[in-house]
Amino acid sequence: MEKTIYLTNLYDIYNLLLTDKQKEYFKLYYFDDLTLDEISENLGVTKANVSKKILAATRVLESMEEKLRLLEKRNKLKQEFASEDNILKRIERIIE
């Protein structure tokens, strides 16, 4: 579950760097909670194709976070200002 939350947070930040197919498969798998088999069946593609697209998307997201650390920085800001509810809400609006 923790890995899913991490990846969906990365997706929120870096999704513009993914191809349309990567976005589609990633969202179906992580946001809509479909299995590889369900995605494969619904889209008329092989399970291997679905798996490859999701893996490729995951690699792009993790690679960008490794280089830019935007999620890490966002989390640090949230933690720093957690006691300041108003400031936290303003920061969240800015960074999301």
pLDDT in tens, 21-77: 999 999 999 999 999 999 999 999 999 999 999 999 999 999 999 999 999 999 988
> Does residue 57 lie within any of the structural domains?
yes
**CATH number of the domain within which 33 lies:** 1.10.10.10
b/e per residue 59-74 (b: at least 16 CB within 10 A): ebbeebbeeeebbeeb
Q: Is 83 domain-assigned? A: no
Residue 27 lies in a domain: yes
pTM: 0.84
For residue 22, give the H/E element and its range.
helix 20-26
Q: Is the pLDDT of residue 82 over 90?
A: no
Is 12 contained in some domain? Answer: yes
